[in-house]
Structure 1
Amino acid sequence: MVDDDVVLVQVEAVPRTSTGSARVRVRSDVGTAVVFWAGASEEVGGEHHVEWSIDEDVSWGSNTWPAAVPAFGLWENGGQLVFRGRLSFTADGGATLEFASALILLDLATPGPPEVVSGTGAEVQVPQSSVSLYPYLL
């Protein structure tokens, strides 16, 4: 059984940042983007099951809003990444974004999104530097 938090994607290396951090271009069924690679450099390339990590609080109306269309998506917007999926709240005060076949855990800024948006389509736009991809062995 596959973990609900992981998804199979195509990963290819791109030039390192000025700080030496490894980056990859990830290609999925819902879009393509460049993100930080949290795995070993020799693991870059080919297909991988991965887990997404977003180190940025969700702030409704600032970096998160209702989805324009009801379909999963991923794209770059300048130095930002946009994830489109289904936003739901968790019992511990956080949130998840159902994104294709993965669940991305999110922290909520205060005040959080209105309760009425739980379970609805949303777009989350965060700095590219706040997104990491972790390889996941099944």
Structure 2
Amino acid sequence: MGREHHVEWTVDEDIVWAVNAWSSGSRTPELRQSGDRVVFRGLLSLTEDGGVVLDVGGTPILLDLADHPLPEGVDGSWVEVRVAQDGVAVWPYGV
């Protein structure tokens, strides 16, 4: 408590646009629980190798895409992602 901790996020659920991910009207990073879902809001970036990174307040979270493509123009936009809490893990690591 009261200290900064370095962790690695693992999200086992694939991202499917309009199912568990969509554009966000808010431009404020967020991490919260909503029922049995974990909600991440952040700035989405596409990587050169086809991956997705969600920057949640300076914390990059790597996400896997389902076989459905993301819509045009989503790279660099604010996105909300909701995934099952049992598919999210946090692992401590040292710097």
Shared fold per TM-score greater than 0.5: yes
1:94 has 2:38 as partner: no
User: RCO (CA 8 Å, sep 6+): is it higher in 1 or 2?
Assistant: 2
1:58/1:112 contact within 8 Å kept: no
Segments of structure 1 that go 5 or more residues without pairing to the other structure are 1-9, 12-45
Query: Greater CA radius of gyration, 1 or 2?
Result: 1
- Higher strand fraction: Structure 1 or Structure 2? 1
Q: Which runs of 4+ in 1 moved over 4 A?
A: none
Q: Deviations over 1:44-64 (max 9, x none)?
A: xx6521111111111110000
Segments of structure 2 that go 5 or more residues without pairing to the other structure are none
Q: TM-score, normalised by structure 2?
A: 0.91
Letter in 1 for 2:39: V
1:124 has 2:74 as partner: no
Q: TM-score, normalised by structure 1?
A: 0.64
Cα deviation for residue 86 of structure 1 reads 0.6
Letter in 2 for 1:105: L
Letter in 2 for 1:130: G
Identity of aligned residues (%): 44
Aligned length: 95
In structure 2, the residue matched to 1:55 is 12
